[in-house]
Amino acid sequence: MVRMRCAAGDADAEGKAFRLRADRLAHDRRVASLSSQGAESLFTDVLAAERSIIALKLELASRFAENHGAKAADDLARKSGTSKGKAKGTLDTAKKLKDQPEVEDAVRNGELSEEQTSLIADAADVNPSAAGDLVKTAKNGSINDLKQECSRAKARRPR
């Protein structure tokens, strides 16, 4: 049990350290003087970090829902400064991912944006056999391609 507390404490400390580093970088005036190539490289890193955070956010949203019960969407909306509808969408996606290991793995591997994850989780909830193809579409196509494929997957749902 001590090991688990320590590991949880380590994760919490890492989260705080990450936030501090991100805050420092956001306030670093040298970012404005980066070359075009340097700015694009940093932007690529920020986008990759954002995708990693999505996986963590969705995992923690699931725990948040457990802790807050029926008022989870209201509480998350208030906490995150977003609409109740957006908060509910985050909580719904987090819940659906628990039964979608292929999609969850893609999220954890940084292969999906939050919008892609939401679209795929929703479609795979209706048609689980489509998950793998939808992840491939997300990785190789546009968001509009993914939306179309998700609609098709829902229409082909197993009966």
Give the model's confidence band at 5: pLDDT under 50 very low, under 70 low, under 90 confident, else very high.
very low
pLDDT band for position 19 (50/70/90)?
A: confident
Burial label, 158 (beta-carbon count in 10 A; 0-12, 13-18, 19+): exposed
Choose among 101, 104, 106, 75: nearest CA to 88.
75
How far apart are the C-alpha atoms of 105 and 135, rounded to whole Å?
10
Total-model pTM: 0.84
pLDDT (tens digit per residue) in 81-129: 999 999 999 999 999 999 999 999 999 999 999 999 999 999 999 999 9
The full set of domain ranges for the chain reads 37-155
- Is residue 112 within 8 A of residue 146, CB to CB? The reply is no
Radius of gyration of the chain from Cα atoms?
A: 18
